[in-house]
């Protein structure tokens, strides 16, 4: 498990406390941090895969016009 700074955990608690019915602890802040990192890692992966698909489609369609292949 990564070692997050006390400052980051405190900022995480400050940011997320208004959305929680219970008092957030440092362990909660660690879990929130891990989940947010995981979310953005997944979004980054999806973006990369989508960019690769778009690039491949563009390369495949190069030279094709409304009037046929050039």
Q: Nearest-CA neighbor of 36 among 18, 12, 19?
A: 12
49-63 confidence digits (pLDDT tens) = 888 877 777 666 665
pLDDT in tens, 11-57: 999 999 999 999 999 999 999 999 999 999 999 999 988 888 777 77
Every domain of the chain and the residues it spans: 26-60
Sign for the CA dihedral angle at 58, 61, 63, 65 comes to negative
> What's the pLDDT score for residue 52?
81
């Amino acid at each position: 498990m990564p070692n997050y700074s006390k400052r980051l955990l405190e900022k995480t608690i400050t940011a997320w406390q208004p959305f929680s019915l219970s008092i957030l602890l440092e362990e909660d802040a660690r879990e929130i941090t891990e989940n947010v990192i995981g979310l953005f890692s997944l979004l980054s992966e999806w973006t990369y895969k989508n960019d690769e698909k778009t690039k491949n489609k563009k390369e495949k369609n190069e030279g094709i016009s409304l009037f046929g292949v050039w």
